[in-house]
Structure 1
């Protein structure tokens, strides 16, 4: 059985660009726990809050529950659940899982394969990360689930895997004249740009193309906040800032809240701005909550 291929197939239930990374998040968490204790079970009542936090931080902006993947992942053949009622999930509800002392773990065949071939775990984790999350979140997500960093070079899946355009970064940074589209940062060390990255608006994992009209040149901070749903791009190519963001210090105000309503810096004339369809996807699938009202312009003294 090709377990790496099985990980990639978990995407098939996420249709129409809708983000639903419930199963991948539970699997990443389970792989991390497997590294700690290959024979241990995950009691739902003990891991519910961990899963809830993961879904809140890395899941879709709409409300969700950790009971969903705990129950439904059984049908993918990689996860098993038992409870006081015996083998199998007792139901989809939080109360049912708690009341019956439900516990889950990786399927027996998968546990056997991981023991036999330790490198398989890293390859599986890499596929789950690549297929469901942008690269800017991979390292911190591994840390969040207690997973040792997956190897950078994973076993390539066959023709089903798209190839990235390695020119994407250079094309996007050139279009935005090597300035962060949100704050204008344009730092260099000698002649080399530093701290500037090409962000996909519609994530590559969700069929976002490697085109300039799906990219933004962002500094490292704003790239991370953009991928976490703190920042977005609204009508008129103006910066959106989530009302859920809280930052009281002057740095948080200057770097985040005061960006609300600010027009993007760039792209240069002749370069394609962010396409409306990609902006709409990010607003629906990544941006969290409602945007803050635009900061009012100071009246002349």
Structure 2
């Protein structure tokens, strides 16, 4: 029995059957129990990883696997799913994840003469590489691409008056134990190749397979970003940095949308600036995550349409109005689950502030402002409405890497 026969489309076919049958019926049909550790997360939904892989193997080969056929255990299943580009999560905090964060915390960064601040070359390069993992792009990058993309980044966000020398992080990140370089005609123990040699041979560099596998997990990835930002990039405009490297999704907890400045503002205007006709229309194509509306109704019912943050009960068309807000956003890059434990009942105002990382829930259950100055208040919770502290912790981490001081606690 080999899992190498399973393709991406086989996993998708298995998830479609999972949704059609429902979790319990799917597991019963193929003789699987519920996952106790590893779960696959796709478009905000959670799947039992072994069951999905066992059924996907059937789609690929005609041989449907049962739970007893996985001699390598759930970790082997998770490894294959990650190889295919899927997100797999576990409730545990494995030692290898802690080791990754520890290595990031102790990068061998240089300090310039007369400047006690650590160089930003390695941290910025790592964030750039993490953005590639978030987009599921190849982990190994040719020198020419690294030079052309990271070089300008070092000028824009590096220390004042620091030279842009992308060759240094490209080579010296090997000292972190998280990075490798391939294709340089010299022994790894020897000194760094000259730029002319890098240009001539165009070697590859990137995270090791182990580090890349860990960073495919959204929670580990966010922890890694927070470690880098808080340790080395305290004075950097992180929102500008995230937008610059294609990680704007980390500047919000949800899917806040603002009209583009380049979109038409309406029909033509007369001499007084008033519209002279109806607003124009344009065709668009969008891919939307399908939310479980029953869950949204459930959280509103449990909380009686009262905002869990400010206590307001809005009325619209003579009816109570509230919004079901995901604590950890659905879809990329957060890949939060669509479950009751990941939902809050909020008014429209608090929903915008929560998604915009202006407010958060601290470890004591108090709602605070990320910019300070606002009075804290307890998050209202109905005893029948469970909230997963891990999701609140994820949201706090997002606030931490986006907020200015005082830091989120």
Could you tell me the TM-score, scaled by structure 2's length? 0.35
Of structures 1 and 2, the larger Rg is shown by 2
Could you tell me the TM-score, scaled by structure 1's length? 0.46
- Comparing both chains, which one has the higher relative contact order based on Cα–Cα distances under 8 Å and sequence gaps of 6 or more? 1
